[in-house]
């Protein structure tokens, strides 16, 4: 009977030695994952509001043929304005 208690004690210490640190790592990973998702959502919201503010002041906003930033680049002798980089319409995939 004493051997059974000794085996149970060793197994319990083994679980304590490996299980507790593993549980802590899993919990910290879960919390950091949720925090990252929250920060990413806030960044998307901020970028969207910034893009809307930039588009509201752009004289070429809403233009589709050519796309607004392409028209602005043609108007500015080949230079893309800095505010075009934060606009939701800015992207090379829209040229084609």
Show me where the domains of the chain are located: 2-94
pTM: 0.50
Mean pLDDT of 6-19: 93
Contact 95, 67 (CB under 8 A): yes
- What pLDDT is attached to residue 74? 66
pLDDT-derived band at 96, boundaries 50, 70, 90: very low
| Rounded Cα–Cα distance for residues 35 and 70 (Å) | 37
Q: What is the pLDDT of residues 25-76, one digit of tens each?
A: 999 999 999 999 999 988 888 766 666 666 666 766 666 666 666 666 666 6
Contact 58, 70 (CB under 8 A): no
**Which alpha helices (H) appear in the chain, and where do they start and end?**
2-57, 68-75
């Amino acid at each position: 009977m004493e051997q059974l208690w000794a085996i149970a004690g060793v197994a319990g210490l083994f679980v304590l030695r490996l299980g507790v640190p593993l549980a802590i790592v899993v919990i910290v990973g879960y919390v950091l994952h949720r925090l990252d998702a929250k920060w990413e959502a806030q960044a998307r919201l901020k970028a969207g509001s910034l893009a809307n503010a930039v588009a509201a002041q752009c004289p070429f906003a809403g233009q589709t043929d050519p796309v607004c930033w392409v028209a602005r680049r043609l108007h500015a002798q080949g230079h893309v304005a800095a505010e075009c980089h934060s606009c939701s319409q800015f992207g090379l995939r829209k040229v084609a």
